Structure 1
């Protein structure tokens, strides 16, 4: 009989809680170096968690045997009945209802609106001003998403309640709350609950407008029209939860990619100079268009490398539905598994230069599946590239500075330390 994955040495009762909460990334790196690609940690509040950190294990859990690895309860907490949390027939039905909004032709229709929104935000930056990269990137990507998908432009200097609510969706997953039962109302969890209420209220308001005033061609209008036509439309609850899902998954990840890309450029002036030279050569003084993206090779490689080094979603949680063999080990039914994207993307076995740098050509992969297999990676990378080329199109004399080396922390997404 195969053995269960090994467990690193830990403290009585507390297990690995302190190390995991203090710096999950550092702990996972050290545990993987000591124990291998599959190991189990013990964290108060979560119990035993089996960490999987090999491309073959990702392929098994996400592609070959997804029925053996269901989405964890964390998805329900964050996204309700949204596309990110449902599975099976419901996932397929929701995907079919929404997928037209992410086809290349539809994305091309967003370009002018995104250019206008981005120009408005960048025009608010003064020469010599110091800005928070993350704050500005999140504001920009949220404004673009609301304008293009929901036809709901945001006031660049307003809509503070909605902006704060979207930012607070991450708070349920703060490490300091992981060690406590879900019923314990920590300050971050109370803010998370208020954020969900605010976003759901805004979603219902927009939905009521579409129902009362007729439909346009934005996402909510299309979902309402599908239901009117009896085309297997989504319920009100599903539509409301799509808004929350897209507001978080559709802007937070892109904002983090932009932030980490700029952070990396600030540390590699040679790459930054190549980046600006490419923008000058391809765009000149013109706004970028979707047709320019194939010619922005350096920009694409910078974003791809930033996504590898600092994956906005650092871990994919799954729960086993039956005993399952993973490599040389047997993982029991009901075990929470963490597929560690962060660890896999920095493994020297899979990349020639896996460390925290942004070489001009990026780190070359040695494994055919060393980039996490997902259904939406290409779509997200395209949106990030489009937002990136717009946001980063500044005079070539622009410079960024950054301090500190331990720059990221693990919550629901890979967020900078403050």
Structure 2
């Protein structure tokens, strides 16, 4: 079997999943959180059959097809990512499936910022790690944590290849007109200031899954993918290649998000420093952690915001209106950039589950060939589904994303 262990190492968390890349089966997944903090917790989920595939057993790889799983949760004291890996390995040994009987052929790592240096999944060498470290200046909260996870994983799995899959790589096909900021060119070059984009792994997976669903080659399609979670981004995809995306040099630019402001007049930052007395850290805290729908409506979770709006909370209703207004603006912009669109897909937590957000974002776009079917839109499910009318020139889809599977497949392809 082509088993790949996928690692997503955050600043205070470690997410993992063991995936059979060929079939897409997930054999186990887990999360270790609050690394380096008090009150850490670990969760490991595996198919029930995995409990018979513990350390030393040669059991057949478990299948999750029955839907029956066993969950192992406990409190842990995790000082760093090396300790988090020990917790993960212990969970596999005690709960299964056995990594002795079912060893991964490779380990795939999510790395947030690849700059302009990495445009494809890359086998990790010492030089690659040096580059990831140097690019930490562009993503200080992410790349350093990604690198710690790589170091810990290489210690735990020294005899298999490790592959970095970069969030930014998919967007390296953007033309200069899309990624260039209109500031002094020498300053921009010296400090590597340009638009990089993020969520690339999700945008790539969803655009290909959408093409497969509609039965057309991805190379023939003009697509807009809306990845709407706590972080949110839009992407214009022409023939399977990213040509524009809403996030910029950092994940702060673009759409309204859970706690991030998205697009903002740069002079607002100067005004806040001069008149409100905020320093650089204060502005950073405001725009990244106290803005978005949290700052506008008092709730960072879209479900809570919708509930509050339906209960008559005017602040929540305004937050939803602003959120949808920004979404609609990007849909229109990318329709113009692409010269028309064949498929628009909603994905991630909000995109897959919020009936109201999808309806608000697409309202009034019928003259552009975008016709939402309210009955189909109200249907909930975990599978890819059509939400447009039969007569709609543009196909509207809900496509559940699977970044871990995409990382596993890219990892396998790289090795």
- TM-score bucket (shorter structure): under 0.3
Q: Which has the higher helix share?
A: 1
Q: Which has the higher strand share?
A: 2
TM-score, structure 1 as length reference: 0.27
TM-score, structure 2 as length reference: 0.27
Q: Which has the higher contact order (CA 8 A, sep 6+)?
A: 1
